Amino acid sequence: MHGARPRKLILHIGAHKTGTTAIQEYLFAKADFLEEIGWFLANIPGKPLNWGNMFRVLRGPRGKGETIFPVNPAVFAGLLSVIDQTRLDVILSAEDLFFLNEEGIADFAPALTQRFDEITVVAYLRRQDKMALSQWMQGGRTVQSAMVFGGTAAPFDCMGAEAMGYLDYASKVEAWAAALPGARLVLRRYDRALFPNGNVMEDFLQATGLILPPESRIIDANRSLGATTVRLVYLLRQAGLFQRPIEAAFAKGLIPDSKDKVMPSCDQARAFLDRFADCNARLARMMGLEQVFDDDLSTYPEEEIFPPLDPSLVQSTLLQLYVEAVRINDPQEVK
């Protein structure tokens, strides 16, 4: 026991694209209520979102090494300092934990077992085809998703070993269970139709037993970019443009949002899902279910939808970025 009473931790590990931002913003807004009932939200001080900068990105040569996300010791120490400043029970929500491989999970866990007596691990899991599509789109906004799921090719064609490891939920859960022996695992299928009032925040409260003022709104946070825009961003990164200039370009409206969609064919989706049949069967046994995910592929078209990149769009965007770069470096050069 780590004190006069057992100390509890709710560890929300994601996965990505399952309402994590909405949950974090809700918990941040209700931080005072949480403290009244004995819980401390271990967020980045002053911010609602997760400790994404807690993980560095190391990437081996394409096809020869795994992209891994080791803990950044300095930022991790900052998180532990925040946790150690309170004797309340703690909620930590950080979806980037889902990027950790088995070794990373084993490295991360001891600091938690040293501090807490009762740990509940909460994970929302989305059917692999939907997760892969959503992560490919999210790669237009975040480097982490882009490095694991991204590329200028069609989404299912970008799935390397790292992406497939991420989508093997059974092995991921097993790694967390091994690293946190005795932890309570709360595994939820991400499907709004299954949530109270279609609301992921209400489901999170139900899953964790937290009693907080309800959130009646259904928040659709962190919306994805259009498919053509995502491909354009991947192309810019491939050419050597870093994330901060890309974010600045979005803020200034230099990169347009196409708002179009990418959609594999029904046959492509079925073949992709077949690759996860065994791990999903293991996952179902862990959850005490006959089947975790449904087999509905009715939203997919017969033929793949993958809008081509318009060369004129690429050219005009590159020209705007060039003009902006010159303007910043020599304002007198651009009238």
DSSP string, 192-224: GGGSGGG-HHHHHHHHHT-------S----SPP
In angstroms, rounded to a whole number, what is the distance separating the alpha carbons of residues 44 and 42?
7
Provide the CATH number for the domain around residue 112.
3.40.50.300
Domain that holds residue 69: 8-219
User: Domain for residue 166, yes or no?
Assistant: yes
Q: What is the pLDDT along the chain (335 residues), one digit of tens a residue?
A: 555 678 999 999 999 999 998 999 899 999 999 999 999 999 887 776 667 778 887 876 544 457 788 888 888 998 999 999 999 999 999 999 999 999 999 999 999 999 999 999 999 999 999 999 999 999 998 888 998 999 999 999 999 989 999 999 999 999 999 999 999 999 999 999 999 989 999 999 999 999 888 765 555 556 678 999 999 999 988 888 888 888 889 888 899 888 899 999 999 999 999 999 999 999 999 999 999 999 999 999 999 999 888 888 888 888 888 888 877 776 554 44
As given in the structure block, the two tokens for residue 239 are: 């050419």
Whether 233 is covered by a domain: the verdict is: no
The structure tokens 């939907």 sit at 130
Q: Is residue 309 domain-resident?
A: no
- As a whole number of angstroms, the distance between CA 173 and CA 10 comes to 15
Question: How many domains is the chain partitioned into structurally?
Answer: 1
Give the tokens for residue 138.
Answer: 């999210």
In a domain, 92, yes or no: yes
